A = this chain, B = another copy of it.
Amino acid sequence: MDGTELGRQARPRLEDVAAEVGLSPASVSLVLRGAAGPSAATRERVLEAAGRLGYRPDRAASLLARRRSRLIGVMLDIRSDYHGELVEDVHEAAEQHGYDLVLSTITRSRDERRAVETLLDSRCEALLLLGPDAPAAWLAELDRQLPVVVVGRSIGSPGVDIVRAADDQGVSLSVDHLVGLGHAQIAYVDGGAGEIAAARRDGYRRAMLRHGLRDRIRVIPGDHTEEAGIRAGMRVAAVLTGHAPTPTAVVTFNDRVAVGLLDALSRAGVAVPGDISVVGYDDSPLSRLAHVGLTTVSQNSPALIEHAVTAIVERLDGGRTTHTEIVLPPGLVVRTTTAPPPPSPDVGHPPGG
Q: Which among A37-45, A105-113, A160-168, A338-346 touches the partner chain?
A: A105-113
- Pairwise interchain contact B266-A263, C-beta atoms closer than 8 A: yes
CA distance A270 to B6 in the complex (A): 60
Interface residues of A (CB under 8 A from B): 1-3, 6-8, 11, 56-61, 63-64, 69, 78-81, 83-85, 87-88, 91-92, 100, 103-105, 107-110, 117-118, 120-123, 144-146, 226-227, 230, 234, 260, 262-264, 266-267, 269, 286, 289-292, 316, 319, 321, 352
Of listed A1, A105, A109, A262, residue having the most chain B CB within 10 A: A105
Copies in the complex: 2
CA distance A60 to B2 in the complex (A): 26
- Pairwise interchain contact A87-B78, C-beta atoms closer than 8 A: yes
A232 to chain B, nearest CB (A): 11
- Pairwise interchain contact A59-B3, C-beta atoms closer than 8 A: no
Q: Which residues of B contact A234 (CB under 8 A)?
A: 291
A338 to chain B, nearest CB (A): 17
CA distance A56 to B113 in the complex (A): 13
Give 10 nearest A-B pairs by CB, closest first: A60-B63, A59-B121, A230-B291, A88-B107, A78-B84, A60-B64, A60-B60, A103-B103, A79-B84, A266-B266
CA distance A100 to B83 in the complex (A): 22
A54 to chain B, nearest CB (A): 9
Q: Which residues of B contact A290 (CB under 8 A)?
A: 227, 230
CB nearest to A100 among chain B residues? B118
A229 to chain B, nearest CB (A): 9
Of listed A64, A100, A145, A286, residue having the most chain B CB within 10 A: A64
Given A56-B117, A146-B8, A266-B267, residue A87 in contact with residue B105 (CB < 8 A): yes
Q: Which residues of B contact A87 (CB under 8 A)?
A: 78, 105, 107
- Pairwise interchain contact A145-B291, C-beta atoms closer than 8 A: no
Beyond A1-B319, A269-B269, 5 additional contacts (C-beta under 8 Å) are: A56-B117, A78-B78, A92-B109, A100-B118, A226-B289
Q: Which residues of B contact A56 (CB under 8 A)?
A: 117, 120-121
